[in-house]
Chain A
Amino acid sequence: MSSRPFVACAAPARLADARWRPGLIAQPFHSEIFAPAHEASGAGLALALACDALAAAGGDDETRQVLWVQDRAAIRLGGRPFLHGLPPDLRHRLIHVAARTPADALFALEEGVRCRDLAGVIGEIAGNPRALDFTASRRLSLTAERHGVQLWLVRLDAAADLSSARMRWQVRAAPSAAPRWNPAAPGPATWHARLFRARAHLPGEWMLCDDDGTLRLQSDRTASDAPAATAPDPFGMARATVGRSLAARLPA
């Protein structure tokens, strides 16, 4: 361990960073997201966090691939990713792995975080399989930190057992803000997220929403949009910026 070629780990907790917020530079390399299986909130938040981390880290050349691993139970419960519903800058660079068993899924996750050419790894494992114990999660954490590839592991309908993930979220879907053009329609993706274990941050609860590809706090978004309108439409009919980069859309 003394001759590690590349050591990457989360920044130590500082007072300023004590509260988590979207857009932080130093993101942990292994996060767990607990979500109900009958909704896509887990995968949605994982993707939003991934986009957030990639945008915050900068230098993401948009050619590196993203690996999405699902085990069979997760596919049966929540379906497979749908190309036309993915964030636009992930559509052309997603590699999907359909593993039969949780053990295979863990193998694929470990191979993924070991690969230097991947931008990130998203995993979906249903329940609390025996293969995913503390040892397995510690293996994933150490490998991810050693190779500097970020991993977001979505646990569907799982109890929060022992794990070495650096950040652990509990998420569920939340009622969305009404879109500007059709208040009767569902709005942008909104989640109620609870961070219940983190190394560098205080635990807390947030209402997060996906504002046109950018992860925002619900309170920030409504405050910033209040002068203009009640809420913008979710699917970018009145979008001003056309750039593909997520960072370009961050408010100055």
Chain B
Amino acid sequence: MRLADARALCPDLAAVPADPAGDLALLERLALWAQRWGPWSAIDPPDGFLVDVTGAAHLFGGEERLLGEVVRAFAGRGLLARPALAPTAGAAWALAHHGPAQAILAPGDDPLRLLGDLPVAALRLDADVLAVLRRLGIKRIGQLAGLGGAGAGAGAEAAMRDALARRFHHHRTPAANPLLRLDQLLGKVPEPLLPVRARLVPLVQHRLCEPLRHRSQLDRVVAELAEAMVRALEARSEGARRLELMLWRLDGAVLERRVELAAATREAGHLARLLASRLEDVEAGFGIELVQLRASWSEPLALSQADLEAAAEQHGTALAACIDRLVMRLGRGAVTRPVPRASHIPERAQEWQPPLAPLAPSQAGLAFHARPLKLLDRPEPIAVLHAAPDGVPQRFGWRGAVRAVVRVEGPERIAPEWWREGGRARLRDYYRIEDEAGRRYWIYRRGIAGDGRGGPPDWFLHGLFA
């Protein structure tokens, strides 16, 4: 039903937009929170999670009381929960989704007796597999396992298993193979699960008894925090890649400043300098009462032996620190490295990437092409005043000056990339030229006369040779 139809039926309907990402984040947080009952938990999107409580139930006074506490704890958070306890993840899932409330399958029980009456949907199968089973007339897990049929017995069970194995022999994923799911439910084959794990980010903070109102004090606090952060990182053998500085003001506002680093670092002075450069526009208002520094992205960085020759350490800055400072002042896109790209079109033959990013493997360029030292960002049109019989300009005007061409080499024809550009794209004929004063340029003619892709060809100046 569409929202408009629903509103027509019930005018005071409350509509809330769906937020799948938020739901998933909540589920992850809940799964972590649920580790109060067991040391291991995994999320089961979209609306469940698993907790391993092996050997932990006695801490809560038995399994029934454990489930009772789970229901109470969720009710306290305003959530409705359907807990179930079973020796395997598949059985617990089946009981929680399709079984009686707060069902418990003890290790000694026969799982098929308790689960045999559940619908086959409790096996976590795909919708099309469920449709196949429905068409086959299999509705209960017990039927699937060969129980409860006409000729009940070991023979019928084996026959059913053979039939299922033949029917689904090409389905390898568990969600498409009822037999595999049944075995997982019964604990005959293992079922790997991905646990959620809390990742503690290094965090240091200063609570200030006297609110800060001056920049110099804030700088000192930030420098101390940077040192504390370096110690916290050192304990974990990590270096910071991203730092978040949060400033809580007395009036309740929270300011956030974020710094990213080109390489993992653990240098307190460098961190403090970078953070200080982001503090210029901080409005202290009535004062700042709490300063918190968090390394939300850190990478392993081994402890290294300090250079015994102290001079080498104090002399100059490291490359990563230099890049950090440049990026901090000039912006991320301003500091780049040219890297080759697989294209014949000159302006597409190189691209720019962050300077310390790893280089992608690339094919070596062809050595017999002469390429200019510098390429204009956008080819500039030139006015051809006089052309030789073969069409190469003899005199042309560029940037308000007339140049006479003395020497020419060319053309080097570069065809348009038909797989990327439209059919109207014109080819380019590149010429290396030298004018009477010795200036060397790279010019091209776009298109050739009579190619049926526009008017007479234009000339452009694209590059400057050294």
Contact = CB atoms under 8 A, between A and B. Distances in A.
B354 to A, nearest CB: 10
Interface string B331-360: 001111111100000100110100100010
Contact of A184 (B371, B377, B407): B407
A137 to B, nearest CB: 20
A44 B333 CA distance: 25
A34 B317 CA distance: 29
A101 B388 CA distance: 42
Contact of B338 (A47, A83, A237): A83
Contacts of B399: 38
Contact of B408 (A45, A184, A234): A184
Contacts of B350: 82-84
Contacts, number: 188
A12 interface: no
B333 to A, nearest CB: 8
B326 interface: yes
Given A39-B439, A85-B465, A80 B319 contact: no
Contacts of B352: 96
Contacts of B439: 38-39, 41, 173
The SS class assigned to the A binding surface is mixed
A79 B464 contact: yes
Given A79-B375, A81-B374, A186 B316 contact: no
B371 A82 contact: yes
A82 to B, nearest CB: 4
Nearest to B407: A186
A82 B372 contact: yes
A225 to B, nearest CB: 19
A147 B374 contact: no
A97 to B, nearest CB: 5
B409 A115 contact: no
A149 B373 contact: no
Interface string B415-458: 00000000000000000111011111000000000000000000
A-B interface, 9 closest residue pairs, ranked by CB to CB distance from nearest: A44-B466, A116-B316, A185-B409, A40-B464, A117-B319, A186-B434, A115-B322, A85-B371, A189-B466
Interface of A: 5-6, 38-41, 43-45, 47-48, 65, 75-76, 78-86, 91-92, 94-100, 104, 107-108, 111-112, 114-118, 147, 149, 172-176, 178, 182, 184-187, 189-190, 192, 210, 234-237
17 contacts: A40-B466, A43-B374, A43-B466, A44-B466, A79-B375, A82-B350, A82-B374, A84-B349, A98-B334, A107-B329, A114-B316, A115-B317, A116-B317, A176-B440, A185-B408, A185-B409, A185-B432
Interface of B: 311-312, 314-319, 321-323, 325-326, 329-330, 333-340, 346, 349-350, 352, 355, 359, 365, 367-377, 398-399, 401, 406-409, 432-434, 436-440, 463-466
